[in-house]
């Protein structure tokens, strides 16, 4: 019948709400992990920041270690960060870093800068970062020194995130994301496809 909208399938709203709640919990845990040592963070603190109850965190993630195993993984972030053809990947990655901070308040890479806070858990963070981000990027590159070039490209992105999210550079923060991506992307791209990037 025309003009009549189909109601959502049963359970659709509940699933959507559950995903939003999980995302809020992960965002809260990331926020705390960037400011406090792992051992000092409690589920209650995460719950308060996320606006949920501690038992709800247990329901969705199991326990604190399981929750922070998710937070310390870069897999999902790397999926989005590397989701572009190699020829345009530098611009895509620069844009993604800035857009993530502006739109979600979460940088896909920046938590690696806080690894020294977390003792043995910092080693887990470093290992995940290497295998899930830099080594995965290196595997997509051709030519010599792929590992070094991947680390230099990612270093440029971490620096961009630091300037935006920690140093809060006013010029960077007030400039359009697309304009920054146009200017910063070639710097990253020069490591990904040397000789092919503009000015390479």
Average pLDDT, the chain: 86
Supply the DSSP symbol for 2. Answer: T
* Better pLDDT: 77 or 89: 89
User: Which range, 23-37, 63-77, 80-94, is most confident?
Assistant: 80-94
8 has pLDDT over 70: no
Average pLDDT value for residue range 40-63: 89
- The whole-number pLDDT of residue 12 equals 47
- Alpha-carbon torsion, ordered 49, 54, 56, 62, to 10 deg: 110
- What is the tens place of the pLDDT at every residue in 175-185? 999 999 999 99
- The tokens of 149 are what? 């070039």
Please state, for a pLDDT cut of 90, what percent of the chain lies above it: 48
Band of residue 148 on the pLDDT scale cut at 50, 70, 90: very high
Q: What is the pTM of this model?
A: 0.76
Average pLDDT value for residue range 48-71: 87
Average pLDDT value for residue range 10-24: 71
- The tokens of 133 are what? 């981000």
- The whole-number pLDDT of residue 83 equals 95
Could you tell me if 164 and 110 are in contact, meaning their C-beta atoms sit under 8 angstroms apart?
no
* Better pLDDT: 25 or 13: 25
Band of residue 16 on the pLDDT scale cut at 50, 70, 90: low
CA distances for 124 relative to 34, 117, 130, angstroms: 15, 12, 10
- The whole-number pLDDT of residue 4 equals 46
- The whole-number pLDDT of residue 177 equals 96
98 has pLDDT over 60: yes
197 has pLDDT over 80: no
158 has pLDDT over 50: yes
Read out DSSP for 52-90? S-HHHHHHHHSSHHHHHHHHT--HHHHHHHT-S-GGGHH
13 has pLDDT over 70: no
């Amino acid at each position: 019948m025309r003009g009549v909208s189909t109601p959502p399938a049963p359970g659709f709203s509940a699933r959507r709400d559950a995903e939003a709640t999980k995302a809020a919990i992960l965002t809260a845990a990331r926020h705390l992990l960037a400011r406090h040592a792992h051992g000092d963070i409690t589920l209650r603190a995460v719950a308060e920041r996320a606006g949920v109850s501690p038992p709800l965190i247990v329901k969705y993630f199991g326990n604190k270690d399981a929750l922070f195993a998710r937070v310390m993984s870069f897999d999902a972030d790397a999926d989005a960060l590397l989701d572009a053809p190699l020829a345009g990947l530098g611009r895509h990655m620069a844009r993604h870093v800035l857009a993530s901070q502006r739109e979600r308040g979460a940088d896909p890479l920046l938590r690696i800068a806080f690894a020294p806070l977390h003792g043995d858990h910092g080693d887990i963070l470093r290992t995940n970062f290497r295998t899930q981000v830099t080594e995965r990027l290196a595997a997509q590159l051709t030519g010599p020194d792929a590992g070094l070039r991947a680390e230099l490209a990612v270093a440029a992105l971490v620096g961009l995130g630091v300037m935006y999210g920690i140093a809060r550079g006013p010029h960077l923060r007030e400039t359009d994301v697309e304009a920054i991506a146009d200017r910063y992307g070639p710097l990253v791209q020069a490591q990904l496809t040397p000789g092919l990037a503009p000015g390479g």
